[in-house]
Structure 1
Amino acid sequence: MQNQKLPNATAVLILGIFSILTCCCYGVIGLTLGIIGLVLANKDIKLYQQDPTLYSNYNNLKIGRILAIIGITISTLYLVYVIVLFSTIGQEGLMDMYKEMMRRNGIQ
């Protein structure tokens, strides 16, 4: 009998990668993708634990799950940073910082 592939292993891997890549979008997109990846990974882990000999791509699932956890962590930290930044200096302060950076780099 040929081993089957876990149904969500590839999706979990892709979601884990993209959760890290998109963590700089105020943390929201990366956090969302990471949570979805983690939920799918947990479903597949339960499926794998029922009969481990039946499935062949458990390593992809483990790697994707780890990447999703890393993406959730980075995105959460970035989201907290953005919230603290907005609450301390506000949107007007951020715009002033942006204009000053543009002025220093010679961009009008």
Structure 2
Amino acid sequence: MFEFEERKLPNATAVLVLGIFSILTCCCYGVPGILLGIIALILYKKDKDLYLSNPSVYTNYSNLNTGFILSIIGIVLSFIFILMIVWAISMVGWDALQDPELMRERMEQLEQMQ
């Protein structure tokens, strides 16, 4: 009969690395984490379709799944960080984020309100 040579999925390592970097860059204003996570998800879909077409040929599907999970986590963390930035700007204002003295005044006002 036919014997298939086991191969690695072509983008599994890239998906894993992009997933890790999407988590690491989520605190860089959130945008790089989202972009890297989305790229990883696109590559994941391509490799998953390739794997599902012939699962007995490919060996590193677990790396692909791990990269997928890390990408989702990176996207969620990046989105939360963006929401935190929007919240901070709405609470103290953009001008206070650029002026430390004004920031201190606004923080004191917020403390007095509580």
| TM-score of Structure 1 vs Structure 2, range by shorter chain | 0.7 to 0.9
User: Following the alignment from structure 2 to structure 1, what is the Cα–Cα distance between the partners of residues 90 and 6?
Assistant: 53
TM-score (norm 1): 0.85
Shift of 1:97: 4.9
Q: Which runs of 5+ in 1 are unaligned?
A: 101-108
User: Following the alignment from structure 2 to structure 1, what is the Cα–Cα distance between the partners of residues 100 and 56?
Assistant: 57
Quick check: 1:33 aligned with 2:33?
Answer: no
Q: Report the counterpart of residue 12 of structure 1 in structure 2.
A: 15
Aligned residues: 100
TM-score (norm 2): 0.80
Q: Report the counterpart of residue 105 of structure 1 in structure 2.
A: none
Q: Report the counterpart of residue 103 of structure 1 in structure 2.
A: none
2:7 is matched by which residue type in structure 1? Q
- Percent of pairs with identical residues: 52
Q: Report the counterpart of residue 87 of structure 2 in structure 1.
A: 84
Quick check: 1:52 aligned with 2:55?
Answer: yes
Instruction: Give the greater-gyration-radius structure (CA).
Output: 2
Q: Report the counterpart of residue 111 of structure 2 in structure 1.
A: none
Q: Report the counterpart of residue 95 of structure 1 in structure 2.
A: 98
Q: Which runs of 5+ in 2 are unaligned?
A: 105-114
Q: Structure 1 segments of 4 or more deviating over 6 A?
A: none
